[in-house]
Each structure stands twice: as structure tokens, then as C-alpha cells.
């Protein structure tokens, strides 16, 4: 008989197989139950074409019922887990997306976005080259500086302003925002992975640096092939090699610099430096090279206005148009420095005022214990799961963007009344997207604290010899569920390390040392996870809101799902080859346990 706990009680020990001893084939049925919320979400969103908030609500209700009735989770755990995820969806994610759109709307209202658009079109009025410069290079910079949906929100809006079709702009930015994600937010995903596995971040960065540059070289070309025909993509191959190659080289050296120069740790700046490097190198290259055939956005020639009908662009005018984004970038970098210090403890700003506050969720914080099989025996006794809402009022990317917006009011020549009008319009524009993000993150946290995620993870671990491939796929699933690569690493990182030890002990990966096996498998969770970034609910909703396509989430999902699966499989294949095929096995670093 199923245990339906609706009492307001805490202290909950998760079970990997909650149906054990109750039904035949319990492990298989438990896996199906754990996957059911994801199946329901997919069905409602893609097949039934429900709106994203309703689909998220429906899947959340299903997950909550299963968590209580099958997994035996107390109502307080289920309720507070959803609240925990919803709060995370509001801050920092929703806050960042909202302010990114606010800043964009301000530039449009002040007439500066047109100048910004023309400055990019001045480099090239070819849509293929514009997509490379904005979606890939500038997007990588924003991912490194902010993450949390900012690259898709800002770059997709810019592409639409340049004449791209909304769906087209959304898909391109989602595809571009993949290979840089592991180093997003100044390396937050890898730092998170280190925190849950105990593997030094520098070692994880080295392993990621031995995988992702190949994808960084591929992604711009793959993205342009989705924009136009193969023949038209080949026409700009020099620019593709320049953009992807410059970023890949920068990514490799900054990710592994500590291996070449002792004590020089640069991995947090990998995306920021790589994005800027790629943007500058490609822009300079376009000064001396042009494609023979210009392919404008929407397949029709972009009319370049004559000086009689439009003001000539000057350096001062272009600088003014870009200044809000320059301010945003500088403030994001400063916030990133403070954020890194937060890893060593609370950062005091003035007197007792701190940059962030961790607020324990009552009834959830340290009241949930993972199944014993998920604990590393070398770490001793089982530990309760933490559940603290991190109120990062200062270092959240959205706070830096909001401050940039305030500072930009006089720079853009706006009155305070105009700013309030744009602010109210943005609130109206972003209410539904942010509510959707909160629902989706609430769902993912609910499945995590109920133990459903662990049941799915253990199912993947049964693949044995093929597990290096499925380790990347598990990371991909984690990002789909949580919305962030850091969330996926927090969700499955410990499980990946335990599974690596189990399959190594069983003779799989025996040609590698145990630390090497752990590094390879754990890193695959992050590098495979980046390909799930284009299909998670947060990214999809950000893309629809940035391109004015609210209600068309299913259309975007269908447009990118197979690209996501294919690219995740590529990462899985790379991991598989590095696991078994010399000399690629020598690319796997070890560490002192």
C-alpha cells in the first residue's frame, strides 16, 4: 500500500526505489514514476501546446502527488522545495532577465538601439556575419559575465532589431549559448561541481578545456547551417574559422593556464576574455575580408539609408549607444569579483550590511537525507541536504544590470518620467515569463528534494561500459530539469562521482586511475549539460519574451530539441573516446584524493 503523507512533518530520508517490496519490477516502475513529471511537462508543453505557466503548474501538481504518495515525502518538504525553487527562479534568474529586457527597452525608447543596430550592420549587413558577432561572440561574453539568461535575452533582442525573424533569432541565440556555459558566471558551474565532488576546480577546468574547444569551433558553423543552406554557410567559412577558432584557442588556454604557469588561475575569465577576443578578432578580420554574396536578414536586401535621409554615424554616437552595455559589463565584472570572495565567506559592504544572506527554508533545510547508496563512504556518515535561499541582492547579475539601467538614464537623454513608463511596460511584458520560470524551477527543486532525480540518475548508471557517454546525457537531463549547468552539477555531481567509483571498481575504466575516472565522469556532467541549456524552460521562456513570442514556447522547443540531443551526443561521444581510446585517454588529468 502506498504511503500518502499529508501531515505537516519534516525529517525525510529519500529512497532510490520507493516501490521496493510493494510491486514486481519495482526498480523499473520507480524509474517510470520519477520520469513521469518530465513526461507530463513535455506532453503538455509540446504535444498539447499548453502555455508554459499552465504546463509547469500541471507537471508540478503531478510531481507533488507522486512525491507524497509514492516517495513518502512529507507535505512540508514538497511545499517548501517548490518555494525554494520558485524563489531561485525569482532571484537571481527572473531579476536578471527582467533587467536585461528593461535595459534593452530603454535603448529602444531613447532611439539609441537604432544606432547600435547600424553600428553592427556597419561591420557587415550580412545576416550570417551578424549572427556570428552578436549571438556567438557577444553572447559568450555575456554568458561569462552574467549568465542566467542574459545572453539569450539581450542578443535575441538585438538580432530582431537587425531584421531577423523572431523564431530565427531565438533559435540562433539558444544554439550559440552552449559551449561557453560551463564557464558562465565567472566559472560558477565548475565551482559548484567542485563543491559537491571535492575535486579541485582547476582539475575540472582542465578536463573541460580538453573537450569544449572542439565544440566552440563547431558551434558557429552549426549555428549558421541552421540559418541558411550549406552552400551559403560555406561562403563565409573564413569568418566561421576566425570566430570559432579564436574563441576555441582562448578557451583552451585560459581553461588550462594553471597547468602551464604555476599559480596563474584564469579559468573564471574564460568566457569574458574569449568572447571579447573573438568579437574583436572577427570584427578586424571583416575589415579586410567580405563575402562575395551578401545575405541580408529575412532574405531581402537591407536598405542602407543615404546620408541625405539619416545622420552619419560618428564614434561619439556609437559610443553613446553602446555605453549602457559597457556600463553593464563593467558592473558585472565588479560584481563577479565580490561574488568570488563570497566563496570564502560573507562579504561585508558597510558595517553589518552584507552582499548576500543565506536564509534557511523552514521544514526543508537539513531535513532531507539522500539514500545511503548515494553517499561516499569515505566521507563518513550521511549528511542532510541544505536548503538555503541565497538572497544575493548585490552580486546577482540582475542587480548590476539594473544599476547600469539607472546610470544610463542621463546618458540616454531620458527623463525620469520616461524611465518610469518604460519600467511599467517591462513589468507588464515580463510578468508571465517570470511566473513561468518560477513554476519550472519550483518543479525541478521538488523532484530533487523528493529523490526523483536520484532514481533517474541511478537508472543511467546501469549502462556500465557505455556510462561515459550517458554521464554527459545525465548532465544534459539535469540542465533540462534545473535550468542551469550549475544546478545540474549540484543535482548530479555527487552521484556522478559515486558512479565513477562503482564502475571503476567493477573493472570498467580500469586503465585509468580512480581519480582520472572521477574527473572524466564528473566533468562530463557539466560539458554535456551545456547542450541542455537550449531546451530548459528558463532559456525557452527568456527567448520567447526577448523576441515577442509569448505563447510560442512549444514552437521554439520543437525547433531546438533535436539540435540539443545531437550536440549532447557529440559530447558523450568525445567523453567515450577519451575514456577508452589512446592517446585521447592521456587528456584526462588526475588529482590527489
Q: Given this model, what pLDDT does residue 70 score? A: 94
> What residues form DSSP beta bridges with 350?
353
Q: Is 108 inside any structural domain?
A: yes
Q: Is 459 inside any structural domain?
A: yes
Average pLDDT, integer, range 543-566: 78
Which among 494, 522, 506, 463 is positioned nearest to 377, based on CA atoms? 494
Q: Confidence band (pLDDT; 50, 70, 90) for 294?
A: confident
Give the Cα separation of 205 and 258 in Å (integer): 10
Q: Is 366 inside any structural domain?
A: no
Q: Is 373 inside any structural domain?
A: no
Find the range with the poorest average confidence among 21-25, 365-369, 382-386.
382-386
Per cent of the chain over pLDDT 70 is 86
Q: Given this model, what pLDDT does residue 54 score? A: 83
pLDDT over 70 at 272, yes or no: yes
User: Which of residues 518 and 352 earns the better pLDDT score?
Assistant: 518
Residue 66: half-sphere exposure toward Cβ, Cα within 13 Å? 28
Q: Given this model, what pLDDT does residue 491 score? A: 66
Q: Is 354 inside any structural domain?
A: no
Find the range with the poorest average confidence among 193-207, 219-233, 493-507.
493-507
Q: Given this model, what pLDDT does residue 441 score? A: 74
Domain that holds residue 393: 82-299+311-347+387-587
Q: Is 267 inside any structural domain?
A: yes
Give the Cα separation of 66 and 36 in Å (integer): 9
User: What Å distances lie between residue 22 and 64, 71, 118, CA to CA?
Assistant: 20, 12, 66
Q: Given this model, what pLDDT does residue 263 score? A: 65
Total domains in the chain come to 1
- What's the chain's average pLDDT? 80
Query: Is the pTM higher than 0.95?
Result: no
424-443 pLDDT per residue, tens: 998 887 787 778 778 877 88
Give the Cα separation of 427 and 14 in Å (integer): 40
Q: Is 69 inside any structural domain?
A: no
Q: Is 61 inside any structural domain?
A: no
Give the Cα separation of 243 and 279 in Å (integer): 7
Amino acid at each position: 500500500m502506498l504511503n500518502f503523507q499529508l501531515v505537516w512533518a519534516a525529517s525525510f530520508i529519500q529512497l532510490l526505489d520507493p516501490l521496493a517490496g510493494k510491486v514486481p519490477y519495482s526498480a523499473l516502475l520507480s524509474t517510470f514514476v520519477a520520469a513521469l513529471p518530465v513526461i507530463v511537462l513535455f506532453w503538455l508543453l509540446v504535444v498539447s501546446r499548453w502555455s508554459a505557466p499552465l504546463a509547469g503548474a500541471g507537471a508540478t501538481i503531478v510531481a507533488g502527488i507522486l512525491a507524497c504518495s509514492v516517495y513518502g515525502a512529507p507535505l512540508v518538504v514538497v511545499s517548501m522545495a517548490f518555494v525554494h525553487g520558485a524563489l531561485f527562479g525569482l532571484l537571481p534568474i527572473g531579476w536578471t532577465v527582467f533587467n536585461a529586457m528593461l535595459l534593452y527597452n530603454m535603448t529602444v525608447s531613447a532611439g539609441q538601439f537604432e544606432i547600435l543596430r547600424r553600428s553592427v550592420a556597419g561591420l557587415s549587413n550580412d545576416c550570417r556575419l551578424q549572427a556570428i558577432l552578436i549571438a556567438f561572440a557577444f553572447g559568450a561574453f555575456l554568458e561569462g559575465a552574467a549568465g542566467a539568461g542574459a545572453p539569450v535575452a539581450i542578443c535575441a533582442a538585438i538580432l530582431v532589431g537587425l531584421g531577423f525573424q523572431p523564431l530565427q533569432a531565438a533559435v540562433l541565440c539558444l544554439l550559440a549559448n552552449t559551449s561557453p556555459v560551463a564557464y558562465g558566471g565567472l566559472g560558477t558551474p565548475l565551482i559548484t561541481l567542485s563543491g559537491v565532488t571535492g575535486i579541485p576546480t582547476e582539475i575540472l577546468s582542465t578536463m573541460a578545456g580538453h573537450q569544449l574547444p572542439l565544440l566552440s569551433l563547431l558551434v558557429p558553423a552549426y549555428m549558421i547551417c541552421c540559418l541558411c543552406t550549406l552552400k551559403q554557410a560555406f561562403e563565409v567559412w573564413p569568418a566561421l574559422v576566425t570566430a570559432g577558432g579564436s574563441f576555441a584557442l582562448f578557451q583552451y588556454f585560459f581553461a588550462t593556464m594553471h597547468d602551464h604557469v604555476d599559480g596563474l588561475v584564469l579559468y573564471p575569465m574564460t568566457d569574458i576574455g574569449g568572447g571579447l577576443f573573438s568579437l574583436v578578432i572577427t570584427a578586424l578580420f571583416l575589415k579586410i575580408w567580405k563575402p562575395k554574396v551578401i545575405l541580408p536578414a529575412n532574405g531581402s536586401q537591407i536598405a542602407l539609408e543615404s546620408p541625405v535621409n539619416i545622420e552619419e554615424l560618428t564614434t561619439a554616437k556609437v559610443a553613446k549607444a553602446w555605453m549602457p552595455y559597457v556600463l553593464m559589463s563593467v558592473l558585472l565584472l565588479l560584481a563577479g569579483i565580490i561574488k568570488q570572495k563570497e566563496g570564502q565567506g560573507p562579504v561585508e559592504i558597510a558595517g553589518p550590511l552584507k552582499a548576500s544572506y543565506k536564509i534557511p527554508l523552514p521544514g526543508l533545510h537539513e531535513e532531507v537525507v539522500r539514500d545511503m547508496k548515494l553517499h561516499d563512504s569515505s566521507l563518513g556518515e550521511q549528511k542532510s541536504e541544505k536548503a538555503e535561499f541565497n538572497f544575493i541582492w548585490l552580486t546577482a547579475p540582475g542587480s548590476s544590470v539594473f544599476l547600469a539601467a539607472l546610470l544610463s538614464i542621463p546618458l540616454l537623454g531620458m527623463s525620469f518620467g520616461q524611465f518610469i513608463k518604460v519600467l511599467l511596460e517591462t513589468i507588464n511584458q515580463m510578468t508571465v515569463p517570470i511566473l513561468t520560470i518560477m513554476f519550472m524551477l519550483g518543479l525541478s527543486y521538488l523532484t530533487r528534494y523528493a529523490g526523483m532525480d536520484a532514481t533517474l540518475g541511478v537508472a543511467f548508471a546501469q549502462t556500465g561500459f557505455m556510462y561515459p557517454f550517458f554521464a554527459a546525457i545525465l548532465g544534459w537531463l539535469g540542465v533540462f530539469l534545473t535550468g542551469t549547468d550549475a544546478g545540474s552539477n549540484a543535482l548530479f555531481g555527487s552521484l556522478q562521482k559515486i558512479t565513477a567509483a562503482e564502475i571503476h571498481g567493477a573493472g570498467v575504466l580500469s586503465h585509468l586511475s580512480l581519480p582520472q575516472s572521477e574527473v572524466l565522469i564528473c566533468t562530463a556532467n557539466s560539458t554535456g549539460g551545456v547542450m541542455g541549456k537550449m531546451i530548459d524552460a528558463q532559456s525557452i521562456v527568456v527567448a520567447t519574451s526577448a523576441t515577442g513570442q509569448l505563447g510560442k514556447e512549444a514552437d521554439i522547443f520543437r525547433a531546438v530539441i533535436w539540435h540539443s540531443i545531437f550536440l549532447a551526443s557529440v559530447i558523450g561521444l568525445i567523453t567515450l573516446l577519451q575514456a577508452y581510446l589512446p592517446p585521447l585517454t592521456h587528456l584526462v588529468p588526475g588529482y590527489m584524493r
